[in-house]
């Protein structure tokens, strides 16, 4: 006969409270004479008894002051058969029932194990990475885009980026301390800095990739595509460090979709109103080095304008 194990409190990183049946019996309640004592005022002093009878375990409900749920369904009989993996809700407490032979999850490979061991060693590396990002962002932005040749306006922008990165790392450090009781602030800071640097570089790539195509759609696709990939990577690393979520990629993907959707809506909010009177076209030009395809003639161009815009307009 397998023993019955009743588990309460299953947060990862913490030791769960377990009670194992003795001689085919296990009692649950608020009273101190029970095998599993629950400090829940919504649970009766003698609430449940699990008994092994025949080839099965039965759950006897001793008190009905509050409903007892088995796998989220109310138990209406005084006794009911239970099996390994069932969930019982009593009062505000949730119990998991397992037999000795209940299969357990395959051992997970510890990702970032070396990095996770860095906790508390030093802030020097994270700070260097952060400052490196800020410096590179400043230089790239200035030489690529400063038409007023003013370092100062870019310095403020980079400073703001640095503050946002620190804040982001802080939020995930707090999350880690709650979920896993480990902050890993330095590691979160390194991750946020490196990802931000990648975003900066990819935004330049997106801008210059648009040149050969000189298309609004291509620019948008690259910008949003890169942003999406960057955000998925960021969220996945944040989740890996701060939580014990099994499928971090799926969660990161979902979070990115949510954030991107909100950002897209926010950025394009009111654009429809503007689009009524303001032509919104790509401002991307095509520098000499990127003029890969042959240019149209004026006649060809205006023929295509007539075909693409006027003909379609008249059809509508």
Partner 1 sequence: MKQQALTSAAHLAFYLKNYASAGGRSNQWASPIMHVIAMPTYPLRALFCGLAIMLALCCPTVAAEDATAKEIYEATQNLVFQIRVIDVASGDKYSIGSGFLVSDDGYLATNFHVVASFVYEPHKYRLEYELKDGGTGALSLLATDVVNDLALLVTGKSTPEFLPLATTPISKGDRIYSMGNPRDLGMTIIEGTYNGLVEESRLQKILFSGSLNPGMSGGPALNARGEVVGVNVSKAGEQISFLVPVSHLAKLIKDNASILVTRDHRSEITAALLAEQEMFFRAVLDSTPTTKPMGSIQVPGKLLESLNCWGHTVDEEYNHFQAIHQHCKSEDQIYVSDSVYVGDFYYDYELISTDELNRFQFYHLMESFFDHGAFSNISDKDLVTDIQCYSDVVRVNEANWKISTCLRGYREHEGLYDASMAMVSIDFNDIAAVIKMGATGVSAKNALAVFKHISGAVSWTR
Considering the complex, what minimum distance in angstroms separates the CB of residue 167 from partner 1? 29
The whole-angstrom separation of Cα 237 and Cα 278 is 41
The whole-angstrom separation of Cα 205 and Cα 201 is 6
SS3 150: coil
Question: In this complex, which beta carbon is closest to partner 1, that of residue 55 or of residue 299?
Answer: 299
* CA–CA distances in Å: residue 44 to residues 29, 33, 78, 238: 6, 12, 15, 42
152 is an interface residue for partner 1 by CB under 8 A: no
148 is an interface residue for partner 1 by CB under 8 A: yes
Question: In this complex, which beta carbon is closest to partner 1, that of residue 32 or of residue 143?
Answer: 143
Among 52-60, 72-80, 137-145, 156-164, which window interacts with partner 1 (CB under 8 A)? 137-145
Pairing label, strands 17-20, 73-74: unpaired
Among 83-91, 170-178, 210-218, 256-264, which window interacts with partner 1 (CB under 8 A)? 210-218
The whole-angstrom separation of Cα 286 and Cα 209 is 10
285 is an interface residue for partner 1 by CB under 8 A: yes
Among residues 214, 230, 266, 268, which is the contact residue for partner 1, using CB under 8 A?
A: 214
145 is an interface residue for partner 1 by CB under 8 A: yes
- In angstroms, the first-to-last Cα distance of the chain is 77
Instruction: Give the number of other Cβ atoms within 10 Å of residue 59's Cβ.
Output: 25
153 is an interface residue for partner 1 by CB under 8 A: no
Instruction: Kindly state the tokens that stand for 173.
Output: 């450090």
147 is an interface residue for partner 1 by CB under 8 A: yes
| Burial class for 65, CB neighbours closer than 10 Å (0-12, 13-18, 19+) | exposed
315 is an interface residue for partner 1 by CB under 8 A: no
Considering the complex, what minimum distance in angstroms separates the CB of residue 221 from partner 1? 16
Instruction: Kindly state the tokens that stand for 163.
Output: 């503050």
Question: In this complex, which beta carbon is closest to partner 1, that of residue 114 or of residue 316?
Answer: 316
- Residue ranges in contact with partner 1 by CB under 8 A: 143-149, 214-216, 273, 275-288, 291, 293, 295-302, 304-306, 308-310, 312-313, 316
């Amino acid at each position: 006969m397998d023993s019955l194990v009743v588990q309460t409190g299953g947060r990862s990183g913490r030791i769960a409270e377990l009670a194992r049946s003795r001689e085919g019996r296990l009692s649950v309640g608020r009273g101190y004479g029970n095998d599993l004592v629950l400090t829940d005022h919504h649970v009766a002093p003698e609430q449940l008894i699990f008994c092994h009878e025949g080839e099965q375990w039965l759950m006897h409900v001793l008190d009905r002051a509050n409903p007892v749920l088995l796998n989220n369904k109310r138990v209406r009989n005084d006794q009911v058969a239970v099996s390994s993996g069932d969930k019982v809700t009593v009062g505000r407490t949730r119990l998991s029932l397992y037999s000795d032979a209940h299969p357990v999850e395959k051992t997970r490979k510890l990702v970032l194990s070396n990095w996770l061991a860095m906790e508390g060693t030093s802030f020097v590396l994270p700070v260097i990475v952060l400052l490196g990002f800020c410096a590179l962002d400043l230089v790239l932005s200035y030489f690529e885009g400063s038409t007023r040749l003013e370092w100062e306006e870019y310095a403020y922008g980079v400073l703001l980026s640095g503050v946002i990165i620190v804040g982001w790392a802080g939020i995930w450090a707090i999350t880690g301390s709650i979920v896993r009781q480990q902050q890993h602030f330095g590691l979160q800071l390194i991750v946020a800095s490196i990802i931000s640097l990648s975003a900066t570089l990819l935004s330049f790539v997106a801008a210059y990739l648009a040149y050969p195509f000189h298309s609004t759609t291509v620019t948008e696709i690259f910008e949003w595509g890169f942003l999406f990939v960057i955000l998925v990577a960021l969220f996945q690393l944040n989740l890996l460090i701060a939580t014990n979520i099994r499928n971090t990629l799926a969660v990161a993907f979902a979070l990115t979709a949510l954030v991107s959707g909100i950002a897209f809506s926010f950025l394009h909010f009111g654009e429809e109103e503007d689009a009524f009177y303001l032509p919104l076209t790509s401002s991307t030009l095509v520098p000499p080095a990127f003029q890969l395809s042959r240019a149209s003639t004026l006649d060809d161009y205006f023929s295509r304008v007539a075909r693409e815009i006027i003909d379609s307009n008249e059809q509508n």
